[in-house]
């Protein structure tokens, strides 16, 4: 067996992004996951890559901004190596504005975005005539449209990224021992292990339910309305999601909570009501106590590293997560925000 510089445990979006970034720096990499590619939360269907609002700027928002800006070139490169569709497109996001107070706030954020997003993207207040595709009703006739949001079909993205890792010389395996530097990117499993070890909540599993509909609006922006994400995908489907459940009996089942989310989507965009539901999905997402990704030296595995806690923003953060983790693991260079350190959740 070939000698490895880096072993990544976990073939979700964080693990694969770290593996890819290490390969780009010339390392020999093996990814190990008994559940296969995207076997956990990263095998979902929704994929709304949306920014934090452009105000009260901090390191977490800047980190996400840098990742979202870099994502277009990142996924183009991955697609070229994988030679399959990644599902990524930076098509923006639409949000209806309910009243004049919401309009005023949105206009103020449009001004702050000019400074904080530094001309790389826009946060705009527009009329429905300026937008493509079916739109939710807006009491004011106005909408927020930002050009930073992107869409991603999570399980397809993981499939493409894993293929790119292999095409670039990396290895994918279901089992094996660690060799070289080790990065643990095992999601909920590791957060629960940490919580048990320290005798207090370090992180937890949050269940999410979503649905995939046969409805083609692939050229339209994603929609956020009635607290629901409506995300068009490249293959003529639309994802609807999702719930956030701290308490649940069955991690993989769907129930009336998903039906309520679907009803909200149908109310927002009535044309969706006639669409066939192709799939109902449920899974567990890893949420740290700090609500930020957990990146750095592993609290339990001496000499190892951790990349965890993607929760709802893992795909949007993944490009920068891979970059900073590869720099730490291979070069010893730590540029990880203090809020992301494991200590923030311990």
Distance CA 47, CA 58 (A): 24
CA end-to-end distance (rounded Å), the chain: 37
User: Which residues does residue 183 pair with via DSSP β-bridges, in sequence order?
Assistant: 8, 305
pLDDT tens track for 97-117: 999 999 999 999 999 999 999
At a CB cut-off of 8 Å and minimum separation 6, what does 337 contact? 59, 60, 63, 292
pLDDT tens track for 197-207: 999 999 999 99
pLDDT tens track for 169-184: 999 999 999 999 999 9
Quick one: pLDDT at residue 2?
Answer: 61
Residue 1 clears pLDDT 80, i.e. is over it:
no
Statement: the pTM of the whole predicted model exceeds 0.75: yes
Distance CA 313, CA 48 (A): 8
Helix ranges (DSSP H) in the chain: 13-24, 59-82, 100-116, 154-167, 188-198, 256-268, 314-326
Distance CA 145, CA 134 (A): 14
How much is the average pLDDT of 46-68?
A: 96
């Amino acid at each position: 067996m070939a000698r490895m510089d880096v072993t990544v445990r976990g073939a979700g979006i964080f693990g694969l992004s770290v593996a890819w970034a290490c390969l780009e720096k010339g390392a020999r990499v093996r990814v190990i996951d008994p559940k296969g590619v995207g076997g956990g939360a990263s095998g979902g269907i929704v994929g709304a890559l949306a920014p934090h609002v452009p105000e009260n700027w901090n390191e977490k928002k800047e980190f996400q901004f840098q990742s979202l800006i870099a994502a277009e070139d990142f996924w183009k490169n991955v697609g070229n190596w994988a030679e399959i569709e990644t599902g990524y497109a930076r098509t923006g996001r639409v949000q209806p504005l309910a009243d004049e107070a919401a309009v005023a706030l949105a206009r103020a954020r449009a001004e702050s975005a000019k400074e904080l997003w530094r001309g790389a993207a826009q946060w705009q207040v527009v009329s429905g005539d300026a937008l493509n595709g079916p739109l939710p009703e807006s009491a004011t006739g106005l909408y927020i449209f930002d050009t930073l949001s992107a869409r991603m079909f999570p399980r397809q993205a993981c499939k493409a990224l894993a293929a790119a890792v292999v095409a670039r010389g990396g290895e994918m395996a279901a089992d094996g021992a660690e060799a070289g530097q080790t990065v643990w990117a095992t999601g909920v499993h590791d957060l629960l292990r940490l919580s048990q070890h320290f005798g207090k909540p370090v992180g937890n599993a949050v269940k999410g339910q979503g649905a995939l509909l046969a409805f083609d609006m692939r050229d339209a922006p994603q929609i956020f309305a009635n607290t629901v994400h409506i995300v068009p995908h490249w293959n003529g489907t639309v994802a609807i999601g999702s719930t956030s459940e701290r308490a649940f009996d069955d991690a993989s089942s769907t129930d009336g909570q998903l039906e309520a989310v679907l009803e909200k989507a149908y109310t927002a965009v009535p044309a969706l009501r006639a669409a066939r539901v192709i799939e109902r999905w449920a899974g567990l997402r890893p949420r740290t106590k700090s609500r930020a990704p957990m990146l750095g030296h592993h609290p339990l595995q001496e000499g190892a590293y951790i990349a965890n806690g993607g929760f709802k923003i893992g795909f949007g953060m993944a490009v920068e997560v891979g970059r900073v983790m590869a720099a730490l693991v291979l070069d010893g260079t730590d540029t990880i925000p203090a809020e992301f350190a494991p200590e923030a959740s311990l």
